[in-house]
Structure 1
């Protein structure tokens, strides 16, 4: 790997800057940006403006209109403030994407979820790996470039976005549709792995509400039990799940699938109804998650779900059956392009991956990058801090100092003008 002396010094200096990186991460973790409800975005934007000011980045706040993201159930509230932090200049831009929301902490934590705690080399806290740690690594990379006055090949534009964790209208979608994304995009919604991204499935969260009529359970006069009326629907949804999961798709599957194909998926994710034994329940709510391949039109997915609901409830005594999409991420088709070889080489600088280690695969999990593609940006680079053992979306989520340093070094190498990666074979195998 050929690098100029200044770049090599800057890369080495990141290791010595780990205290600042960890301090930045601590401050980010302390701001509660969990979704739902997503009420902490303004406070996080305040913090980020403070952190990027010494780097000379110019900031712009972009708020998603409430009419686009609000759902009837009202579980989301607070301004949807997205922050763009861009280095001034007219050169080619690389937009570095981060979602700033996290899932709620949940149960089972052994350490405070909104406080960064180091235990046995693990930096524990909600969002450390997914994905505030990637923001901290990026700031460390830009500080290193500033310390050594390194010229950059790409002008960095940081996109700090809202509502990736299940929202109806993610912030990156709004930025893309408003044509506020410059250049190509590097998403940190991925892992610390030698991976060439082949795309991912879309995701729909559909909430169904069955309404009946309440009464005393000992004297159920004119009662309509919403839970009991929903039993045919639950059975029909479970039957549809079996059909859906017979559908296999050509997107390359992850190595741990051991050759098994990626399939469509459907999950009965939540069910709520009733309050006490002496009351006939008047309402029953069901949440379905449907993962669909790029080859499945969204309209066809929704039509199949509606037909299942309508058929199952055709003879029901329920007063009403309503459904609402409360979360939607579009699928990502082949996101490879001309910048991938350079990013592969940069990951080799930080994490030590060799060209031979890289594998091309997708996933049936989802990303908000599908909206970016629909707005006309096809190539999406992927990196990040997630590892299988990182416990993202679970208790005691963590990353490590070594991974923070490695990612920061990879980002710096990619952005630096003096980085001269060797020739790499085409990013997508024949």
Structure 2
């Protein structure tokens, strides 16, 4: 390929993806309909069953790898069910490219105007929980693989699909287990990113800490001997807000995304959930606080966790509370310097698939988090990044959506990247008239 033109086989496959509209919608509808919300994460078996059904006709073979419960079970946070990770591979003796997807989603939550677990198509928009993050990327990959098979397109890499558990805040994500067990082959392409001309510069880590304050229940009208756990926690909430202000002064050297408009990335602390009490006539005996801390690659995990724990101890030292517990219920390590020799080819494929000019690409990081940090800790430094998320498509919010245009564009980028005939020479964007 040169000058923005496709070889005959590659051009045929390129057009076939756009013509695969009905199959893309059907695939994504089936993917969205399986509830893989984390927590609890008890839908992984059913999702693996569906993926085997979709991939077997394309010549894939399968291995299921479950994360031992002793690793992922925090005892808190509501996680339950077998942590089934699916490895789907099709071998022809070529170098492997591992394509990573997390199969869990955040829970649907309130506020939807469409059914969250049933795909709704409105014009070019595809609504449903996971449509953008990240079941839509699986549908895009399936479209690329169908086009490759229908045309008999020769490949440069053997695709190995890694469909993994517990990215959405889990204590021990599935990709971490696969990487530590030496089951990630070749180089890694993660689809946990966005639809943007981006060169990934890394991302923050994330810690979820659950704090439980134990008081003593009593009648609120005659509270003799009672200890109100909610009221005892007020100094802690104030201390956490003070820590939040301090944390958010800490600036990272990661280049910020364009939508920051030049503002640097900084640490974050969020009071994410509060639970306590049942009725007006009773003193609450237990109060729970869930906090999330986003920390930069420059910060050490041990120091970040120790700071949170010390804040809890100091704030609760004068309290009458009977007991204060802290439990780390989620952790994702930060990612730094994920570049490597395969990035130029992936960047060229993204430019062609989405129609972006090569000079539009910029390197930036994010204060969101990824389970790829554990992959780096296991020795795999280069991690390519792509995906479907955009700032306005309600990722993690009600009425999450992606677009058919983006799914087709990502499918075409995957097609090009895997194809032997793709010449990643930085040629300009392909237009429909050139196909």
Shorter-normalised TM range: over 0.9
Match of 1:136 in 2: 139
What secondary structure does 1:209 align onto? strand
Structure 2 length normalisation: TM-score? Answer: 0.96
Contact 2:201 2:337 in 1 (8 A): yes
Structure 1 length normalisation: TM-score? Answer: 0.97
Q: How many Å apart are 1:251 and its aligned residue? A: 0.6
Distance 2:186 2:378 in 1: 13
Distance 2:76 2:327 in 1: 9
Distance 1:303 1:112 in 2: 42
* 2:68 is equivalent to residue 65 of structure 1: yes
* 2:34 is equivalent to residue 27 of structure 1: no
Match of 1:240 in 2: 243
Match of 1:86 in 2: 89
The runs of 5 or more residues in structure 2 that have no matched partner are 428-435
* 2:323 is equivalent to residue 337 of structure 1: no
Distance 1:267 1:115 in 2: 31
Q: How many Å apart are 1:271 and its aligned residue? A: 1.0
Q: How many Å apart are 1:120 and its aligned residue? A: 3.0
Match of 1:303 in 2: 306
Distance 1:123 1:141 in 2: 18
* 2:295 is equivalent to residue 273 of structure 1: no
Match of 2:110 among 86, 100, 107: 107
What secondary structure does 2:98 align onto? strand
Distance 1:74 1:417 in 2: 46
- Residues 167-219 of structure 1 show CA distances to partners (whole Å, capped at 9, x for unaligned) of 11111111111110001111111111100000000000000000010010111
Match of 1:316 in 2: 319
Aligned length: 424
What secondary structure does 1:365 align onto? strand
Contact 2:76 2:327 in 1 (8 A): no
What secondary structure does 1:190 align onto? strand
Distance 1:364 1:419 in 2: 34
Q: How many Å apart are 1:156 and its aligned residue? A: 0.4
**Alignment of structure 1 residues 19-418 onto 2, 5 Å:** 19-73=22-76, 75-418=78-421
Distance 1:251 1:111 in 2: 37
What secondary structure does 1:294 align onto? coil
Distance 1:265 1:69 in 2: 25
CA RMSD in angstroms, aligned pairs only: 1.1
What secondary structure does 1:388 align onto? coil
Contact 2:256 2:366 in 1 (8 A): yes
Q: How many Å apart are 1:148 and its aligned residue? A: 1.2
What secondary structure does 1:262 align onto? coil
The runs of 5 or more residues in structure 1 that have no matched partner are 425-430
Distance 1:89 1:170 in 2: 29
Structure 1 segments of 4 or more deviating over 6 A? none
What secondary structure does 1:130 align onto? coil
Q: How many Å apart are 1:71 and its aligned residue? A: 2.0
Distance 1:388 1:370 in 2: 23
Match of 2:431 in 1: none
What secondary structure does 2:115 align onto? coil
Contact 2:39 2:77 in 1 (8 A): no
Distance 2:391 2:120 in 1: 20
Match of 1:427 in 2: none
Distance 2:273 2:120 in 1: 32
- Residues 345-376 of structure 1 show CA distances to partners (whole Å, capped at 9, x for unaligned) of 10122100111100100011100110110000
Q: How many Å apart are 1:324 and its aligned residue? A: 0.4
Distance 1:107 1:268 in 2: 19
What secondary structure does 2:293 align onto? strand
- Residues 247-289 of structure 1 show CA distances to partners (whole Å, capped at 9, x for unaligned) of 1111100112121111111111111111111101101101110
What secondary structure does 1:158 align onto? strand
Contact 2:124 2:405 in 1 (8 A): no
Distance 2:404 2:259 in 1: 26
Q: How many Å apart are 1:423 and its aligned residue? A: 5.0
